[in-house]
Amino acid sequence: MATAEWLAVGNEETHRMHIFDKLSGVEKRLDKVESLLSDPDLVKDQEAYRRLTKEHAEISKIVSVFREYKQAAKDMRESKDLLKDSDEDIKELAREDLRRLNEHLKKLEQELKWLLIPKDPSDEKNILLEIRAGTGGEEAGLFAADLFQMYSKYVDSLGWKVEVLNKHVTGVGGLKEIIVLVQGKGAYSRLKFESGTHRVQRVPVTESQGRIHTSAVTVAVLPEAEEVDVKIEADDIKVDVFRSTGPGGQSVNTTDSAIRVTHLPTGLVVTCQDEKSQHKNRAKAMKVLRARLYDKMTSEQNEKISADRKSQVGSGDRSERIRTYNFPQGRVTDHRIGLTLHKLENILQGNIGEMIDALITHHQALAIQHVETESRDAA
């Protein structure tokens, strides 16, 4: 059946034709991919086989929903025909079917628009989570420790793993900086909107007058980069070794096990001293360096894309104030989406799923709007 026939349901807007033309192309591509995968000679080319298998997994879901949409539209047209029947009972059943099918079609259409949004290739990756104390002195370090505990509990609730790559503690139990690897399927897709400046308003434990102070902590979420993602030449790095130090500068190791890696072409510097083994610290430092280089590379690529293509939830800029944790009022406010939750203690215990879900939903809505705008422009 022609696309124009089954799309002509109610007062559909003409720009939808462009969307479903795209879907017809995806459906044809799936048929082609399945034909290629059925070729017994393909297994001889493992790279091509892996690439096609991955593509099949990505587009088969789109085509499945697309075909469900076409069947529902066909059913709706048949129900409309039944409205012409002389039997009143049949016409009433047809009207009930039309109401149900209309709602079903709306849901499928939204799902198809979402499926058409270009996926972030990093979404399924593990992440490097970097938390650093900003303005606010010791209080900022204490809040950095609070945020680390919040994310750790959230990650643990999902069954994911956390590995500390590097940390610098303060003398009062805070954190000047901590970098951890979070291992879990879809970690980046869940936590990527946490990048930015987190502000806290509370009375510090060191404040004798009971005055409320404002401090800041920066959070960076970087997708883990494999060696295939970023190739680092041996001549491009300089490695220095030194003795690990703790709060106040005191030595915590008697051997030179700490590592400083400098990437000469970019000037990026990574230091790791959490392990007593120089070899382990170097491996961790290289993992952090790869992630930062990958982030730099993808950020530069994104800058070449028009501004309206970027996520409007937040740019990921470390200087962007994204959230305020107000202790006197017991609230947490995300400034990007205007969401305030009066659940501060609950959130700091790792129950941040509601906030994360709201950010993801907002991002999806904006992305769908972009798909619709593109379709209108092309129609």
pLDDT score of 307: 46
Q: Is the pLDDT of residue 336 over 90?
A: yes
Architecture of domain 127-365: 2-Layer Sandwich (3.30)
pTM above 0.85, yes or no: no
When pLDDT is averaged across residues 138-165 and rounded to a whole number, the result is 96
Q: Do 224 and 125 meet the contact criterion of CB atoms below 8 Å apart?
A: yes
Task: Write the pLDDT tens digit of every residue in 237-262.
Answer: 999 998 766 555 554 555 678 899 99
Task: Write the pLDDT tens digit of every residue in 187-226.
Answer: 999 999 999 999 999 998 777 677 899 999 999 999 998 8
pLDDT score of 379: 52
When pLDDT is averaged across residues 336-361 and rounded to a whole number, the result is 95
pLDDT score of 8: 40
Dig out the tokens for 348 from the structure: 């700091």
Name every residue whose Cβ is closer than 8 Å to that of residue 211 and which is 6 or more positions away in sequence: 203
Q: Which CATH number fits domain 3-116: 1.20.58, 3.30.565, 2.60.120, 1.10.3470?
A: 1.20.58
Q: Lowest mean pLDDT: which of 7-11, 111-115, 130-134, 321-325?
A: 7-11
Phi/psi at 72 (nearest 5 deg)?
-65, -40
Q: Do 150 and 180 meet the contact criterion of CB atoms below 8 Å apart?
A: no
pLDDT band at 58 (very low <50, low <70, confident <90, very high): confident
CA 330 remoteness from chain centre: 27
Dihedral of the CA atoms 335, 340, 345, 348 (nearest 10)? -30
Residue type, 39: D
User: Higher confidence at residue 246 or residue 7?
Assistant: 246
When pLDDT is averaged across residues 102-110 and rounded to a whole number, the result is 90
Task: Write the pLDDT tens digit of every residue in 65-105.
Answer: 999 999 999 999 999 999 988 889 999 999 999 999 999 99
Q: Lowest mean pLDDT: which of 13-17, 36-40, 61-65?
A: 13-17
Q: Ranked by mean pLDDT, which of 116-130, 236-250, 291-305, 308-322 comes out on top?
A: 116-130
Q: In the chain, which residues fall in CATH 1.20.58? A: 3-116
DSSP-assigned letter for residue 212: -
Query: Whole-number mean pLDDT of the chain?
Result: 85
CA 53 remoteness from chain centre: 23
Task: Please report which helix (H) or strand (E) contains residue 104, including its range.
Answer: helix 88-116
- Rounded to whole angstroms, the Cα distance separating 161 from 127 reads 11
pLDDT score of 109: 86
Q: In the chain, which residues fall in CATH 3.30.70.1660? A: 127-365
Dig out the tokens for 290 from the structure: 């790869």
Phi/psi at 370 (nearest 5 deg)?
-65, -40
